[in-house]
Every structure is written in structure tokens, then in C-alpha cells.
Amino acid sequence: MPNRRTFIRQSTKAAVAAILFPQWACGDRASNEQSADSPTSQGDKLAKFGIQLWTLRDIIGEDPKGVLKALSEFGYKQIESYEGDQGIFWGMSPQEYNLYLKELGMDGVSAHCDINKDFESKAQQAGEIGMQYLICPWVGPQENMDDFKRIAEQFNECGEICRKYGLRFAYHNHAYSFQELEGQMPQDYMMENTDPETVDYEMDIYWVVTGGADPKDYLKRYPGRFKLSHVKDRLKDAPDDERQASCVLGKGQVDYPSILTLAKEQGMEYFLVEQERYDSCEPLDCAKENADYLAAIRI
């Protein structure tokens, strides 16, 4: 039986060579409107799109360079890292990580990280290699709005630290920030009480939908604040209270052609795939299908 590293290499080759037809290329379509799971034929193709490495969390730790190479072959041009056991640079020095991505024709545009531990050091390293963003991926549900007030203050502090080293700070939402607390919406409070000169937001569109909010409404109400996005679909038949229901792009319920068109109009700059659940394919194969979808979409 092949070992794990051999399996990754073989899966990578198979994923690159396979002709994978996205779900939007088949199935029923309404005769009088654009299907939510079909790329629109209008607009321009995305010049660049990327992926959050959490999508490959089950395999990347064993062969970071091999996984990154496969992603480049799928058409991804931007990488968003996360802080795993090997750090945000996956066992490489910041310079080695940056050089390797450049050799593959990709940019390390951002990274999720723990903002409560050695944040200034992380900001300095990220700034030295030209990374655009450090991002807080999670603060969790809070007991009261005073907690979110303290969080907003910390975000402003992180923004100032990032500015010092030539990059920006952002917060990545989950569903909890769209749940009303003490008569206020935590997401709104954080956005309205952080400095737009130093603090941006990464809209995880899946979690906005899962939290019961409307991504288009937030894009319109806060133009220019959502600079990054996680493009992640949600299973069509998922119960409203089901949290872990992500799926391959085009196979779910999120109307990405119209949402991403509006997002681009409202100042969105980075479109990053993320997938957290795998029902129909292995992680690398899913990453390939997601890349195919975004390569075809027009916004």
C-alpha cells in the first residue's frame, strides 16, 4: 500500500489530469432566470483568485510544497495561509515560503493567525515578504457587547501594528457575529468602531448565509470595507441549524455570480476558495473543481 506522501503525489497528478466538469455544467435550469449554481455569461472573468490553505488541512502538513505546487497547476494565483503546527510559513522561513510561491507563479497575499500571541513578530515577518494582510480568523461568541467593544479596540491596535510593517489587518467572520446580542449586531458594531484606514474585513460568504444574514445587504451597507472573501458554497438541502455544510462551488445554494459581481463593484479585491467538508471528492479534487468554477465565472 502506498504511503501518505505517495498518495498525495498520485492524487495531485490525477486531479491535474482529470477532466472535471463542474456541477453548474449540467442539470436543470430555470428558463427565465440565471441559475444560482451557474456562472453567468456576462461580465469579465476573474483575473486572479486564490485559496485558503485550511481547505487542504488534512494533507498539507505532510507535503506543503507538493500541495502548493498542485494548487498552482489548478490555476490558483493567490494563497491565504493559516497558522498550523508548522506556522503560517509551513516549516519554511518567510523568505523561502515567499520565493517558493513566486517560483510557482503565486502570491502569498494573506494569512490567518492567532492575534493574541507574538502578533507584532508575525506582522514584521509578513511585511518583510510583501504579504498584504494578517487576519484574525475567530474570536468566538461573546457573553455581552462589552466583550465585542474590547475586541474592536484590539482590532484597531492590530491595525496599527500592521501599518507599522507595511500591511493591513482584517477580521474573518463566522455566523456568531450575525446573531443579535443585547439589541446590537456584533458584526455591525465591529465594522463601525474600527478604523477603516487600518482595519478591513474578510467576508466569509458561507458564514454570512449560515448566520441568517444577506451578503448583498452587508456589501451595500459597508462599501469598501470587505476587501477579501471566502468563496464557499452551502449544501442546498442543509438544515438552517446545520453549521458544517460546505460543498464544492456550484453544487450549493449560494448565488455566487450575483454576489461576487456586487462584491467586485463594492471594492472586493481577493476571492479565496475555502471548503471545510468533503462529501463527493477528496480535498485536492475538490480544490480542482472549485478552481474550475472560478475560472469560468464572469462577474
Q: Residue 282 sits in a domain of what CATH number?
A: 3.20.20.150
Model pLDDT, residue 82: 98
Q: What percent of the chain has pLDDT over 70?
A: 86
| CA 107/CA 100 separation, integer angstroms | 10
| CA 3/CA 98 separation, integer angstroms | 29
Q: What Rg value do the Cα atoms of the chain yield, rounded?
A: 19
Q: Determine the 3-state secondary structure of 16 from DSSP.
A: helix
- Judge whether 28 lies within some domain: no
Model pLDDT, residue 241: 85
- Judge whether 26 lies within some domain: no
Across the chain, mean pLDDT equals 89
| CA 10/CA 14 separation, integer angstroms | 6
Judged against a pLDDT cut of 80, whether residue 28 lies above it is answered with no
pLDDT digit string, tens, across residues 139-197: 999 999 999 999 999 999 999 999 999 999 999 999 999 999 999 999 999 999 999 99
pLDDT digit string, tens, across residues 193-223: 999 999 999 999 999 999 999 999 999 999 9
Instruction: Please report which confidence band the pLDDT of residue 37 belongs to, taking 50, 70 and 90 as the band edges.
Output: very low
For the chain, what is the domain count? Answer: 1
Q: What is the DSSP letter of 184?
A: B
Paired residues of 107 in beta bridges: 78
Spatial contact of 147 and 186, defined as CB atoms under 8 Å apart: no
Q: What is the DSSP string of 105-155?
A: T-EEEEEE--TTSSHHHHHHHHHHTT--EEEE------SSHHHHHHHHHHH
| CA 275/CA 206 separation, integer angstroms | 10
Half-sphere exposure of 220 (CA within 13 A, CB side): 6
What is the reported pTM?
A: 0.87
Judged against a pLDDT cut of 80, whether residue 31 lies above it is answered with no
- Judge whether 19 lies within some domain: no
Model pLDDT, residue 90: 98
pLDDT digit string, tens, across residues 1-12: 344 444 444 444
- Judge whether 25 lies within some domain: no
Q: Which is nearest to 91 in space by CA: 53, 135, 50?
A: 53
Judged against a pLDDT cut of 90, whether residue 27 lies above it is answered with no
Model pLDDT, residue 133: 98
Model pLDDT, residue 43: 83
| CA 234/CA 211 separation, integer angstroms | 12
Encode 78-117: b = buried (16+ Cβ within 10 Å), e = exposed.
bbbbbbbeebbbbebebeebbebbeebebbbbbbbbebee
Instruction: Please report which confidence band the pLDDT of residue 280 belongs to, taking 50, 70 and 90 as the band edges.
Output: confident
Model pLDDT, residue 273: 98
- Judge whether 35 lies within some domain: no
- Judge whether 204 lies within some domain: yes
| CA 252/CA 290 separation, integer angstroms | 12
Instruction: Please report which confidence band the pLDDT of residue 289 belongs to, taking 50, 70 and 90 as the band edges.
Output: very high
Paired residues of 184 in beta bridges: 181
Model pLDDT, residue 33: 33
Model pLDDT, residue 40: 52
Least confident of 22-36, 211-225, 247-261: 22-36
Amino acid at 58: D
The torsion angles phi and psi of 223, rounded to 5 degrees, stand at: -60, 135
Top-confidence residue, 28 or 254: 254
Q: Which domain holds residue 51?
A: 47-296
Instruction: Please report which confidence band the pLDDT of residue 14 belongs to, taking 50, 70 and 90 as the band edges.
Output: very low
- Judge whether 156 lies within some domain: yes
What is the mean pLDDT of the segment spanning 64-70?
98
Spatial contact of 249 and 233, defined as CB atoms under 8 Å apart: yes
Q: Which three cell numbers stand for residue 23?
A: 456541477
- Judge whether 81 lies within some domain: yes
